Amino acid sequence: MTASRLECAECGLTVEGRFATPRLGRLAPEDQQLIESFVLCGGSLKMLAKDLSVSYPTVRKRIDGLIERLQDLRSSDERRTEAWLEAVERGSMKPEMAARLMQELAHG
C-alpha cells in the first residue's frame, strides 16, 4: 500500500502524491509494538521479557524473527534501487527520477 494523501489535522493543509513508507512503518503492527517496547526497555531483552510477561527464549525468538523481516525489507529495497539504476542505464528512466525515488525510499 502506498500513501497518496497527507493532511494536517490542525490546519487542514493537504498534500497529494506518492509517499514512500519507511521500513519500520511497513512492519506488521505487532512488530512495531515489539520495537517500541524494546526501546522503552532500554534495549534489554531481559527487561523486555519481563515487560511482555514471556520467557527470555520467547522474546529472543521474536526479536530474531523481527530481525529477519527487517533484513528482508532491506533486501527488497536494495533490489528496487538496483532496478532503478538499471533503468537509468538502459535510458528508460531519467537519473533525476531514480534519485528522487531512492531518496524517498531511504527517508520515507
Q: What is the pLDDT of residues 81-91, one digit of tens each?
A: 999 999 999 99
Domain total in the chain = 1
Q: Is residue 34, in this structure, part of any structural domain at all? A: yes
Q: Identify whether 32 is part of a domain.
A: yes
- Check: CB of residue 84 under 8 Å from CB of residue 101: yes
Tens of pLDDT along 15-71? 887 777 888 989 999 999 999 999 999 999 999 999 999 999 999 999 999 999 999
List, in sequence order, every residue forming a beta bridge with 6; answer none if it has no partner: 15
Q: Does 5 reside within a domain?
A: no
- The answer to whether residue 6 sits within a structural domain is no
Residue 20 lies in a domain: no
Range(s) of the domain holding residue 52: 27-107
Global pTM value: 0.76
13 within a domain of the structure (yes/no): no
Helical segments of 41-55, H only? 45-52
Residue 3 is assigned to a structural domain of this protein? no
Asked whether residue 22 is domain-assigned, the answer is no
